[in-house]
Amino acid sequence: MSATTLAEVSAQIQKYWSPLFTKQLRESLLLGSLVDRKYNGQINRGGDTVRVSQVNAPTGQLLTVGTDADSFNSEAISTNYIDIKADKRAVSSYEFQD
């Protein structure tokens, strides 16, 4: 394990931590932004499973203005169902010196 010193903590401004970590968490755990919050099933204890609908991300294109950006191909929206099992916990931690 690696410890964080008090000097390193003092160099950070608390108000920047939350937006930074929230953005990284959302980017790495996209499930929350892509699924419908309504679900089928019930979670009463760890290990239970619910089913949600998910919008699949579009492929997209990178086009250049003045070359090929005047026309683009659209996609039909697609969805699917995914099962989410209540058996995971997202965790992270720091170690601080006394």
The answer to whether the predicted template modeling score (pTM) of the entire model surpasses 0.75 is no
Q: Are 81 and 44 in contact (CB under 8 A)?
A: no
Q: Are 54 and 80 in contact (CB under 8 A)?
A: yes
CA–CA distance from 71 to each of 25, 59, 74, 75, 77 (Å)? 35, 16, 10, 13, 19
As to burial, measured by CB atoms within 10 angstroms (0-12 exposed, 13-18 middle, 19+ buried), residue 35 is: middle
Rounded-to-integer distance, Cα 90 and Cα 30, Å: 13
Rounded-to-integer distance, Cα 81 and Cα 39, Å: 10
Q: Render each residue's pLDDT in the chain as its tens digit; 98 residues.
A: 566 666 666 666 555 566 666 666 666 665 555 555 677 888 888 889 988 887 777 788 888 998 988 887 888 878 888 888 889 888 888 888 87
